[in-house]
Copies of this chain bind each other. A is one copy, B any other.
Amino acid sequence: MTTIHDVARASGVSISTVSRAMSRPEQVNATTRERVLAAAAELDYRPSTAARSLTSGRSMTLGLLVPDITNPFFFDLIRGTQGRSATAGYHQILIDTQESVELEQHHIAASAKESDGLVLAASRLTDEALAAAARTVPLVAINRSTPGVSSVVIDTPSGMGQAVDHLASLGHRKVAYLSGPRSSWSNARRWRAVQQAARRTGISARQLGPFPPTREAGAAAADAAVHAGVTAVLAFNDLIALGVLRRLFDRGLSVPEDMSVVGCDNTFGSDFCHPPLTTVSAPIEQAGQLATDMLLALLRSPVPSPRVHELPAVLTIRGSTGPVPRPRRSE
């Protein structure tokens, strides 16, 4: 393996000059620099990241923690963060915390050593734990805001409010919110938004669940909704909504004729399922990019004061919502 010493020898300079030529080219004489760089290229020299991070204290690695790697929401996020960290010359390590608070805690503590900073997606930590973590390692949270922590928040609640308005204007009077995980901050916000909009429009909204944010759980959610006698459901996320669609179909019910369905996030698949899902479009990839940019900024200038960025989300109406079913008359 080629080391800095080999390059130094080959170009007839000291190792510090090589080091400078690599890291701060402007600090070395142009001709020397060229000679060193040529030798380095010749020998195919690549600085050891281990040694580099040992001395510099920086690993040029960013961590992305997601609660469930199988959820398409996080795919979009991964795209966003990966792109930005790559451009900035950082590697990204990807960690699945499997919806477990303990695992998340553990990985935050562990990653603090390997990464220069962390992006936490949909953290399940308590406010205190999250704030404490933010004091340990530079960190930006996505869809999880708490004092003392920089974050990017997607305003899906307002989209959910729009969805309730939409349903009300279609004549629905009884709707249900299909709740996501209890520990999800977004879930609480969405349900609150649904309640407020329901009050405002004078319709009745109840909560069903909680359900795991998966397609499988959508089946149970669908049954619960039918049993509750509502004419429309707003799901915590598209995955649950997709599961609802499937279960309703299997039970011989039509969407939106028998039941209207609204998803949330507009993740992969929600536009080509059947019928296409009315959902709240969240700029997830952009959120990932923004969070990475904020983290990068944090690394440059240690925390002036935590920032919270809110990204708008807007209702996208597609085929899964329609007028409330009229009571049939026998002919």
Contact = CB atoms under 8 A, between A and B. Distances in A.
Interface of A: 46, 48-51, 53-54, 59, 61, 69-70, 72, 75, 78-79, 82-83, 86, 91-96, 109-110, 113-114, 242, 245-246, 268-269, 272-275
Nearest to A243: B272
Contacts of A83: 96
Contacts of A49: 59, 113-114
A213 to B, nearest CB: 15
Most chain B beta carbons < 10 A, residue from A48, A59, A82, A272: A272
Nearest to A285: B70
Contact of A94 (B51, B53, B82, B275): B82
Given A79-B70, A94-B78, A96-B82, A113 B273 contact: no
A237 to B, nearest CB: 14
A49 to B, nearest CB: 5
Given A272-B274, A274-B274, A114 B86 contact: no
Contacts of A50: 50-51, 53-54, 59
Nearest to A47: B113
Contacts of A53: 50
A125 B94 CA distance: 25
A46 B79 contact: no
A42 to B, nearest CB: 15
Contacts of A114: 49, 91
Given A268-B268, A272-B273, A69 B79 contact: yes
Given A49-B114, A113-B49, A273-B272, A92 B91 contact: no
A110 B96 CA distance: 25
Contacts of A92: 93-94
Contact of A268 (B59, B72, B94, B110): B72
A78 B86 contact: no
A106 to B, nearest CB: 11
Nearest to A61: B93
Nearest to A246: B272
Given A54-B51, A93-B91, A93-B92, A46 B274 contact: no
B113 A46 contact: yes
Contacts of A59: 49-50
A27 B54 CA distance: 27
A93 B96 contact: no
A83 B54 CA distance: 28
Given A54-B54, A93-B91, A94-B92, A48 B113 contact: yes
A57 B69 CA distance: 30
Given A70-B75, A82-B94, A268-B269, 15 more contacts: A46-B109, A48-B113, A50-B51, A50-B53, A50-B54, A61-B93, A69-B78, A70-B79, A72-B75, A75-B75, A78-B94, A91-B95, A91-B114, A93-B93, A273-B273
